[in-house]
Structure 1
Amino acid sequence: MDCSWQPCTADKKGWIMSGISEIDEYGYSDAELNDSHTYLLPALEAELDQLAPGIGSKQRVFDVGCGNGSIGAYMSARGWQVTGVDPSSEGIAQANKRYPELKLEVGSAYDDLAGKYGHFPVVVSLEVVEHVYAPRAYARTLFDLLEPGGTAIVSTPYHGYLKNLAMALSGKMDAHFTALWDHGHIKFWSFSTLSELLREAGFSEIRFERVGRVPPLAKSMIAVARKPDQ
């Protein structure tokens, strides 16, 4: 999970994010899947199957905010060639120990990932965008990593009027905002705001799916967006 947030400076190309934060990083004690993956991964698998049906397709995918490598391992077991980065050295250490066959390295969405790793037909980034300090830089990195006509699959906790109202009435809003969680959520996205972010980066054909619980109270939403053909 990409949880770094760092100082930035401006030049003629816009905001440039350099270095990884010196504050304590997001920690991982193992390389296992977590509870959120029970509803995220079936939806991810369905999307990937539409892009490259069948196990053994050996299509390439880049995982931005790969965390402890568990999502990458899930995709690899379904025939995908996985490359990914995460700013957490602890997460990458767990990933490399458990899944040495995957190409997972320390890195940030604020780095020039396309310059280092090249371009991919699919980019995946699950439960990451709510943690990044500069979401426009993050979205541009996703766009730049993709081949023309490529697809980005992005998930983040779902926010909508009925869910927000239900949380407020139940007294769970403070817990949801994670104000006391180091490296917790610092952005809260809706269909409208995440669509605008992706469109600004150059994406088109953006669509959403809500996962976990009934749709009005969904736990997360998954955005699927396409980089136009050149």
Structure 2
Amino acid sequence: MSEALPDYGWGSARPHTANYLSEKVRDILRESGGKSVLDAGCGNGALAGYLASLGYQVTGLDASTSGIEIARMTFPDVRFEVGTFDSPPTGTFDAVCSTEVVEHLYSPHLLIQYCFEALKPGGLLIISTPYHGYLKNLAIALLGKWDSHLTALWHGGHIKFWSRATLSSLLEGAGFEVTGFYGAGRLPFFWKSMIIVAKRP
């Protein structure tokens, strides 16, 4: 993400991920007690708008100009910024959320470093990405679904596929302490996504 994206195909409808991720993100934030939240890679602002409706002080950041335009129109009381992860954050926050973003990035370490710098000491990163584990991968192979799962024909689709171990390693390499893991969507070990929670020391 070294430059702003003019169009990423965003519409005003909530992304499908919001339905099964937003409540878990809400629950984690409630336990943390923080009030200021950065949504890093906010897309059309659906999650940021939801969290703002719960009373959080939310800022949404995305490289997609069309996504930010939609977010500003849909949630006019929430602060949204066009920006990339290779620039310094404009403030610090109690928590950073980044849902279904890291799998789209050529340089995911830039996102993680940005989140680290955007957090106050003791702040939480809540990051999600499609889940990949042995049983799910085996099921995808047996059902012949890898072509659709790998999103090769989707403009802006997934280019990296994370396991719990590899994403945790990325976070720990940036200085985070991994404190939690949750599956989201579908049955256990066939989850749509995984959520990893990490703390900035």
**Under a length normalisation based on structure 1, what TM-score does the superposition of the two structures give?**
0.84
Q: Cα distance, 1:194 vs. partner?
A: 0.2
Please provide the CA RMSD for this pair: 1.3
Q: How many pairs does the alignment contain?
A: 201
**Unpaired runs of 5+ in structure 2?**
none
Which string of whole-angstrom CA distances, capped at 9 and with x for unpartnered residues, describes residues 23-70 of structure 1?
x6312121x322221111111111011112xxxx8x110110011111
Aligned equivalents of 2:8 and 2:161: distance in 1?
19
1:44-83 residue pairs with structure 2 within 5 A? 44-52=25-33, 59-83=35-59
**Unpaired runs of 5+ in structure 1?**
5-17
Matched, 1:160 2:133: yes
Residue of structure 2 aligned with 1:128, choices 81, 84, 101: 101
Q: Cα distance, 1:207 vs. partner?
A: 2.0
Q: Cα distance, 1:79 vs. partner?
A: 0.8
Tell me which structure has the larger Cα radius of gyration: 1
Question: Partner amino acid for 2:3?
Answer: G
Residue of structure 2 aligned with 1:148, choices 121, 128, 131: 121
Q: Cα distance, 1:216 vs. partner?
A: 1.1
Question: Partner amino acid for 1:211?
Answer: A
Aligned equivalents of 2:85 and 2:49: distance in 1?
20
Which string of whole-angstrom CA distances, capped at 9 and with x for unpartnered residues, describes residues 161-190 of structure 1?
110010011011110000111100000000
Aligned equivalents of 2:47 and 2:4: distance in 1?
22
Question: Partner amino acid for 1:180?
Answer: L
Instruction: Tell me the residue number matched to 2:11.
Output: 29
Aligned equivalents of 1:155 and 1:29: distance in 2?
21
1:111-126 residue pairs with structure 2 within 5 A? 111-113=87-89, 117-126=90-99
Q: Cα distance, 1:145 vs. partner?
A: 0.5
Instruction: Tell me the residue number matched to 1:12.
Output: none
Question: Partner amino acid for 1:99?
Answer: F
Aligned equivalents of 2:23 and 2:3: distance in 1?
34
Aligned equivalents of 2:44 and 2:177: distance in 1?
30
Instruction: Tell me the residue number matched to 1:198.
Output: 171
Which string of whole-angstrom CA distances, capped at 9 and with x for unpartnered residues, describes residues 127-168 of structure 1?
000011101111111111000000000000000011001001
Aligned equivalents of 2:178 and 2:142: distance in 1?
35
Structure 2 SS opposite 1:215: coil
Aligned equivalents of 1:35 and 1:64: distance in 2?
18
Residue of structure 2 aligned with 1:101, choices 77, 89, 95: 77
Structure 2 SS opposite 1:149: strand
Question: Partner amino acid for 1:212?
Answer: G
Contact (CA 8 Å) 2:7, 2:67: kept in 1 or not?
no
Structure 2 SS opposite 1:164: helix
Instruction: Tell me the residue number matched to 1:14.
Output: none
Aligned equivalents of 1:67 and 1:99: distance in 2?
12
Aligned equivalents of 2:135 and 2:127: distance in 1?
22
